[in-house]
Amino acid sequence: MSKNATHAVVDKIADLQKRGFSSDFVVMDNQLFCTQQKIFLSNDEFDINEVYSFPHSSSRNETVLFGITSEQYAIKGILLTQPAPQSPSVPNVLFKKMGKFWH
């Protein structure tokens, strides 16, 4: 990823954090795991509110930043994906939720 793209990711993360997206998520076993709350969220327990894509200049991959909320657990947080070569940029647990962004 280029230096400018890295700054864009950092700036967008800072913007989301200013707006209350303060928790961190990781994908584990096709679920989201909130590192602060130490809980797993299944597909029906969260929504994707914002998506930002940052293409890599040296490959066809991209970094994807998600703003995620869970009303059930009162959580707002961030998931940052950086796919490995030959892997999809959007984890399966998020794929169905992405439909609203493709219209």
Q: What is the pLDDT of residue 92?
A: 73
Q: How far apart are CA 36 and CA 71, in angstroms?
A: 16
Query: pTM score > 0.85 for this model?
Result: no
- The overall average pLDDT reported for the chain is 83
Q: What is the pLDDT of residue 95?
A: 73
* Residue whose token pair is 């914002």: 50
pLDDT tens column, 33-59: 999 999 999 889 999 999 998 877 666
Closest CA to 89 of 52, 35, 49, 58: 52
pLDDT tens column, 13-33: 999 999 999 999 998 888 899
> Whole domain around residue 62: which residue ranges?
3-97
Q: What is the pLDDT of residue 94?
A: 77
User: 28-52 b/e with 16+ CB inside 10 Å = b?
Assistant: eeebbbbeeeeeebeeeebebebbb
Number of compact structural domains in the chain: 1
> Does residue 77 belong to any structural domain of this protein?
yes
> Does residue 102 belong to any structural domain of this protein?
no
